[in-house]
Amino acid sequence: MLRSTLIHPEISAVLGRAGHHAKILIADGNYPASSKKGPNATVISMNLMPGLITCAQALKAVLSAIPIDAINTMGYETEGPYALTEDPPVWSEYREVIREAGLDLKLEPIEKWSFYDAVSTFDHVLTIQTADQQRFANILLSVGVRMD
């Protein structure tokens, strides 16, 4: 019986094989998960219906299972139809989940098109496709080192 919050068998298997610096994408419901991924990435669909599950829920589960060194968000657009004038509300949720996990990590935004490039690398091992409907909710995690 697993002790972490994460109990999904396939996600657990991929994370168990992931090493230091491996990348895990938690994608919102609008992310093109089938085409914007690394060649070694497994895509797991957790999008049951709009809003279930959310990226914050997936983040909480993943943080319970593995060490993380860095957390990158997809930078939001400031012009055009999807533009925002301030950080997306979901980023506050992420900060709370990170704090609750006892981690001292900051969200580090990557410009939208550079974010796609960062995901399309050989060290991208997993995409968890959620049904989160919030804009710019994509989050990229870098696996850390177990210290205990």
46 three-state secondary structure: coil
In a domain, residue 91? The reply is yes
Q: Give domain status of residue 45, yes or no.
A: yes
- For the stretch 9-20, pLDDT in tens is 999 999 999 999
3-state secondary structure of 145: coil
Which residue is it, tokens 């992931």?
18
* 2 assigned to some structural domain: no
| 52 strand-pairing partners | 49
Note the pTM of the prediction, 2 decimals: 0.95
Residue 3 falls inside a structural domain: no
Q: Could you report the per-residue pLDDT of 23-82, keeping only the tens digit for each?
A: 999 999 999 999 999 999 999 999 999 999 999 999 999 999 999 999 999 999 999 999
41: in domain = yes
Judge whether 34 lies within some domain: yes
How far apart (Å, rounded) are the C-alpha atoms in residues 32 and 37? 9
Residue 4 within any structural domain of the chain? no
Q: Is residue 79 part of a domain?
A: yes
- Range of 33's domain? 9-143
Structurally, the chain folds into a number of domains equal to: 1
Q: How far apart are CA 141 and CA 148, in angstroms?
A: 20
Domain containing residue 105: CATH number: 3.40.1650.10
